[in-house]
Amino acid sequence: MARLVMKFGGTSVANLDRIRRVAKRVGVEVARGYDVIVVVSAMSGKTNELVGWVGEAGGALHDAREYDAVVSSGENVTAGLLALTLQGNGIDARSWQGWQVPLRTNAAHSSARIAEIPTANLDAKFADGMKVAVVAGFQGISPEGRITTLGRGGSDTTAVAFAAAFGAERCDIYTDVDGVYTTDPRITSKARKLDLIAFEEMLELASLGAKVLQTRSVELAMRYRVRLRVLSSFEEMDENAGTLVCAEEDIVESNVVAGVAFSRDEAKMTLVSVADRPGVSAAIFGPLAEAGVNVDMIVQNIAEDGRTDMTFSLPVDQVSRAQVAMEAAKADGTVNFHDLIADEGVSKVSVVGIGMRSHAGVAARMFKALSDEGVNIKVITTSEIKISVLIDRKYMELAVQALHDAFELEVARA
């Protein structure tokens, strides 16, 4: 029997009425002959509530094992309620918590990585007539037998991992948007829903700020070639609904640029007059990594008189952490610099597309579009299928609109 994985996010299961709607969608796929694995998130807002309770009960230095035990309970509730609803609709369904599958992880509580998903338990139940396995997303079991969680967005990762382990025909990710768009429709009304997007493009868009899919889930899908479909749980079902995330070779022709992504709350930090010597980069970025600072774009100026400036971008809410780490590194002699300058008023805007590999002039077109709008570029980084720039935050929406127009993204792929 063909297998299908369906994942429903928190807004899709926010209350009993929405859970009943989900059950109807699952029932349609069962009627089509699929054995279905449904992965569910906690009801909308429930995880935040549970995290808040952990903070109140355990304080800032709470036991991470108990954090996982509490926070994972939201998905358990949803799984049980959906299984009951499916049973009420005459469908043989059972709920499964992570430890029951079992979904085995490492012991990194609150940010665990999936190690293995044995299929024997669910296979046996499907063979006995079960039609739907409702799996609590976001959770697993450690080698020590403790409940673990996969980090925020972990239910997407759970769904893709199940699709890979069970050889599912497809993994459908139901959310509150009807697919992947060329950019955020709230920024420009010309944003267009994509019918197809390559794994590589989706991975870049997800990592650059697009919120549709969690980055780890896309990485997993690309590694195991799991076909993903992103679609809305609030619209009528249609064979052509949503966006299919697939291998590059499944897309006959690509626009040069697939989409424009942005990250609004970025910061730029510059270490002024750093000694230009072997090992200085390690001396800077080692302490930042240890402090948990997520460095992105890095630019080093041309050295002069044995000194250079080092500039990098980071999330704006990590600036104070980075400043403390750098001042400590300076105090203990790890790195020497004259001054530290932080600019907390910048955003990152990126164009992404696998078509860049075979088309010249993308950067020139991008920079001209920004120049025509009077947008100054502070930092530039590139990869094979991406160009990112750091600009003043007040120009971010203007930049996104200008780039969307410049690359004619309202026009469908050829």
What is the set of domains in the chain, with CATH numbers? 3-176 (3.40.1160.10), 260-406 (3.30.2130.10)
Cα end-to-end distance, the chain, whole Å = 36
The reply to whether 181 sits in an annotated binding site is yes
**For residue 221, is it left (φ>0), alpha (ψ between -120 and 50) or beta?**
alpha
**Half-sphere exposure at residue 271, Cβ-oriented, CA atoms within 13 angstroms:** 26
pLDDT of residue 209: 65
The reply to whether 212 sits in an annotated binding site is yes
Strands 259-275 and 307-315: antiparallel
Please identify which residue in the block is written with the tokens 């299929």: 119
Cis peptide before 102 (omega within 30 of 0): yes
pLDDT of residue 177: 84
pLDDT of residue 369: 96
Rounded CA gap, 39 and 95, in Å? 10
The reply to whether 211 sits in an annotated binding site is yes
Pseudo-torsion of CA 368, 377, 291, 61, nearest 10°?
-80
pLDDT of residue 252: 65
pLDDT of residue 176: 82
The reply to whether 190 sits in an annotated binding site is no
pLDDT of residue 207: 80
pLDDT of residue 330: 93
The reply to whether 11 sits in an annotated binding site is no
Reading the block at residue 37, the tokens are: 């694995």
pLDDT of residue 413: 56
Tell me the average confidence (pLDDT) per consecutive run of 10 residues in the chain, 414 residues long. Answer: 94 96 96 97 94 90 93 97 98 97 96 96 97 97 96 91 97 90 90 90 82 86 94 79 87 80 94 90 94 92 84 95 95 91 96 87 94 95 92 96 94 64
Using CB atoms within 10 Å of the CB of residue 84, give its burial: 0 to 12 exposed, 13 to 18 middle, 19+ buried: middle
> For helices 73-88 and 46-58, what crossing angle results, to 10°?
150
- How far out from the chain centre does Cα 113 lie? 15
The reply to whether 10 sits in an annotated binding site is yes
Q: Record the pTM.
A: 0.84
Nearest residue to 349 (alpha-carbon basis) of 374, 365, 366: 366
